[in-house]
């Protein structure tokens, strides 16, 4: 039975890394979201670039796409 349950150490380490990454995803996405919102609010150079990207996305993907949709895409 041990033969069938055996996992190479590399596979075990990979599985552990995946579990840790799953735990970190909410923290990472929240941090990225805060950084983007901060840039939208306080970075004067960000707004024109974000507007251009919004226009491009509306033309290429969907005319009803919103800034929030784009923010989530970037995250």
Q: What is the pLDDT of residues 8-43, one digit of tens each?
A: 999 999 999 999 999 999 999 999 999 999 999 999
Q: What is the pLDDT of residues 36-71, one digit of tens each?
A: 999 999 999 998 999 999 999 999 999 999 999 999
Exposure string over 35-72, b if 16+ CB within 10 A, otherwise e: ebeeeeeeeeeeeeebeeeeeebeeeeeeebeeeebee
Q: Please determine, for residue 2, whether its predicted confidence score (pLDDT) is greater than 90.
A: no
- What's the CA gap between 59 and 56, in Å, rounded? 5
- The C-alpha angle with vertex 24 and arms to 69 and 61, in degrees rounded to 5, equals 20
Query: In degrees to the nearest 10, what's the CA dihedral of 19, 23, 28, 29?
Result: 100
């Amino acid at each position: 039975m041990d033969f069938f349950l055996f996992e190479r150490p590399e596979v075990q380490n990979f599985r552990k890394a995946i579990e840790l990454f799953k735990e970190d995803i909410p923290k990472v996405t929240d941090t990225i979201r805060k950084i983007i919102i901060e840039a939208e609010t306080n970075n004067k150079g960000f707004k024109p670039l974000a507007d251009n990207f919004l226009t491009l996305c509306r033309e290429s993907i969907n005319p009803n796409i919103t800034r929030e949709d784009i923010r989530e895409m970037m995250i």
